[in-house]
Structure 1
Amino acid sequence: MEKSLYNLITRVKQNDEDSLLTIINKFNLLIKKLSRKMVYEGAETDLIIYLIQMLRKLDLDKLKNFSEGGLVKYIQVSLNNKAIDHCKKYYLIKNNEMVLDINIIQQNFDTSVKNNIDNNLFIDELLNLKALTEHQKLILKYYYLCEYSDMQIANKLKISRQAVHKTRSYGLKIIKNYVTTKCS
């Protein structure tokens, strides 16, 4: 007789290894399917580890009102979401993409960072790229160093708010490409 998923989860939380293996086997086909889509070595192992950790953290009080099908669906959706999350991280790492942390530019005016020569040189280097136009440099400085809003910059430069946003976004794209190629 097959035990209910709720009972198996209860036993997993009591460190019953047989119940854990039963649940892993129950979701094995889904794990294999998702790991093939994740296209990196170790994806299956990552999903199994996630499943184990998730089972041990589940709140039994919240689960007791779930039907058997509801519990299965909950675990399936959780595994699918984890697979998507891992795919995004893997894709970013694989393609050497880097998210530019603009906070370093904003920190330039913090007194704790003002004395950090490396940060100041890096910020100066970024904002003085030859690929940036003077207009882009000015908007980036106003926005990140002076902390003006797009509307304040637009009023100051007598251009539209959309033009400020577009120019700033394009300038950041140039900086991101520069940082990505420099760090690769």
Structure 2
Amino acid sequence: MELYDLLKKAKDNDKDAAYEIIKDFDGALKKLSKSLHHEEAETDLIIELLELIKTIDMEIFKHSTHKQIAKYIHMHLKKRTVDLFRAHKNKIKEHVEINYDLIPDETVGGIENDTATSILIQSLVKQQRDIIILEFIQGFSEKDISKILGISRQAVNRALNNLRKLYLGDGGETIGRKDDRTSLQPRYMDRTYCNSYILYSQKPREERSSPGRKGA
């Protein structure tokens, strides 16, 4: 199948098409990841490729050849490799900084919960964070993730279970979307490095709001 058609299908949430694109660029991903000199660099670039698929404007490729589209993707990955190298060199911030002026008033009551969640996610090993991003941000199934990362489905399950144990341990709340599906949702996506998320609580807001906001 032509790259244009694969991109179009992948953009429409066709996971098989996305996996085919990853396989097509396997050589480039491996070569670029070597220049990053850190563990799991190839997975970082796979996530970058998936982000590109999600946001790419297909209109600009209407009259492009397979080779032209492939060159565009390769150049994008090279640019992101440089960005990732700089991010790794400078290190990721070890704490979450919150700008209250940028956060809607109704979310302030849950800030402490969100901050704790971000810290918990950062405490996971790199592969576990990648699994979480691929499943909850990119929407891949556990079977797809095991193929993309080249690990067993049991390893995927273990990573997700570790997060649940960390978060639910010692009286934590249930992890889940508002539609009761287990999920992580992005508060914002740092294009340099994906490292901040919200976990929505299933408890009513009034039960988990900070004491200072009750009766306000």
TM-score (norm 1): 0.48
Structure 1 or 2: more helix by fraction: 1
